[in-house]
A and B are shown apart, each in its own frame.
Chain A
């Protein structure tokens, strides 16, 4: 069952087009990674899902309703990002009490245990926390609220590696204990690959891929072998990256347009290897002609 449905969704801020004709459907009870470069439109899309922004054109339905300024969407959704803020008069303990008052599925005991594990003092104020502690507290707040739609926008920003690894596990454990839909954006795709079920890749305001993780990784493959053997093959398919060193070529190509069996490739001395989701994202969103070295030349 879809909990989010977008049809031809566009959003512009003045002349800047943040989202362009986005059409997608997101299933319930899945952990989905929303991936894209900075400024790709991820946060705008999440803000529309949360009901904070109104689409310029097109439609967006969350739980079969228009989410904009909708109390039912708000009751079943939590949006965690680095801008989450609380009154300066509240200690962390008071914040947890307030959360328990508002969210019907709130897990106070779990919150206490997780914050104790992260070494966060409950008597402190939200504003007094370090960047990493703030991110940890916000994530805990999002997890223990147990909302049907949990949106985590860069939840691990500022956390150290150990805590990050632990909290990816915490997300997974919470998901297993209380299945719901997680939408997570992160720049650490490699780290969170293990918990993702689907990837929605956004580039320049458009969805360029939305598939289960394995299917997503199979979109591109890496070929390496003698340049003369590969030349014909590369001319027939879409090449995302290519490197030639001493007569040997290694290239990343689109797998869907490659109609040669792996056995034939092997006989030609061409080695086929798969890519990680992070690498696939990188190649799919890499703009042609983009080269950092060119700036310094």
Chain B
């Protein structure tokens, strides 16, 4: 009898990551476009602005920060992750050596890679915006720090990663067994309500950047593990 092929999960995941990252590169170009659009839209007022007037004196402050870019990137990560779990992507995976587990792990790695690139895109667009305002509008700037600190970079990365992880979990849970669908959707709805409706979120936001990053990465890891577990239990539906 023909000898059987022995391939490890690691080898398959590596190959899948290579091809998926290459094939879905358009997701990153869409982020560049969206970031530029938001950069242009917020170029006059920044992410926050306030004005004071007294007699003939009128002072207007505009704060230019990464906030808007981070929100856009987080939403982008959630949507891209959701897209990775759609039928079209899942069926494509079946055309090569893969299992639900290998495909999910590959998606997670691609999401992590894309989150990292998204932070670079985000920061680049931010610098471009500031440069554009400096050159075109010739406004006076008060810079807090010329370079983005590593802790801010990690915070942005972990936040985007978290939203990507939530997208993957949300998308995968709807392909899993019915019990998981009901349990996870209830859990997610209540979590969102708890996070946004209770005042406990404010002290959480006051934590140092690094602390928030660790929290985000922990929740993201939990979501990734849950996603793999659900995918492992899911059947393939191609109808």
Contact residues of A with B, CB < 8 Å? Answer: 1, 3, 28-29, 47, 51-54, 63, 69-72, 74-76, 79, 83-87, 89-90, 95, 98-99, 101-105, 141, 147-148, 178-180
Contacts and interface: CB of A to CB of B under 8 A. Distances in A.
A35 B164 CA distance: 45
9 contacts: A29-B2, A69-B101, A71-B12, A71-B102, A72-B6, A74-B98, A75-B97, A85-B95, A102-B15
B88 A104 contact: no
A89 B23 contact: yes
B58 interface: no
Contacts of B19: 98, 101
Please name the 5 residue pairs, one residue from A and one from B, whose CB atoms are nearest each other, closest first: A52-B236, A102-B96, A75-B7, A28-B1, A75-B5
Given A71-B7, A83-B91, A102 B97 contact: yes
B144 interface: no
Given A52-B235, A87-B92, A101-B19, A76 B99 contact: no
Contacts of A70: 99
Given A71-B12, A83-B238, A85-B92, A148 B5 contact: yes
B175 interface: no
Contacts of A99: 96
Contact of A54 (B8, B9, B235): B235
A69 B5 CA distance: 16
Given A83-B91, A86-B92, A104 B1 contact: no
B94 to A, nearest CB: 7
Give the interface residue-count category, chain B.
Answer: 20 to 34
A52 B238 CA distance: 10
Given A69-B232, A79-B94, 18 more contacts: A47-B236, A53-B236, A54-B235, A71-B102, A75-B97, A76-B5, A83-B91, A83-B238, A85-B88, A85-B92, A86-B95, A89-B26, A95-B95, A99-B96, A102-B96, A104-B7, A148-B2, A148-B4
Contact of A63 (B4, B94, B101): B4
Contacts of A47: 236
Nearest to B1: A28
A51 B102 CA distance: 14
Mostly, the A contact residues are: loop
A11 B91 CA distance: 22
Interface in B1-47: 1-2, 4-9, 12, 15, 18-19, 23, 26
Given A85-B88, A90-B23, A179 B2 contact: yes
Interface centre among B1, B94, B95, B102, by most chain A C-beta atoms within 10 angstroms, is B95
Contacts of B97: 71, 74-75, 102-103
A75 B232 contact: no
A29 B92 contact: no
Contacts of A3: 1
Contacts of B6: 72, 75
A51 B5 contact: no
A141 B96 CA distance: 10
A232 B44 CA distance: 100
Contacts of A98: 19, 96
B223 to A, nearest CB: 20
Nearest to A87: B23
A147 B18 CA distance: 22
A139 to B, nearest CB: 13
Interface in B189-239: 232, 235-236, 238
B101 A71 contact: yes
A39 to B, nearest CB: 13
B212 to A, nearest CB: 36
A87 B27 CA distance: 14
A28 B118 CA distance: 49
Interface in B123-155: none
A1 B1 contact: yes
Contacts of B91: 83, 85
Contact of B99 (A28, A29, A53, A71): A71
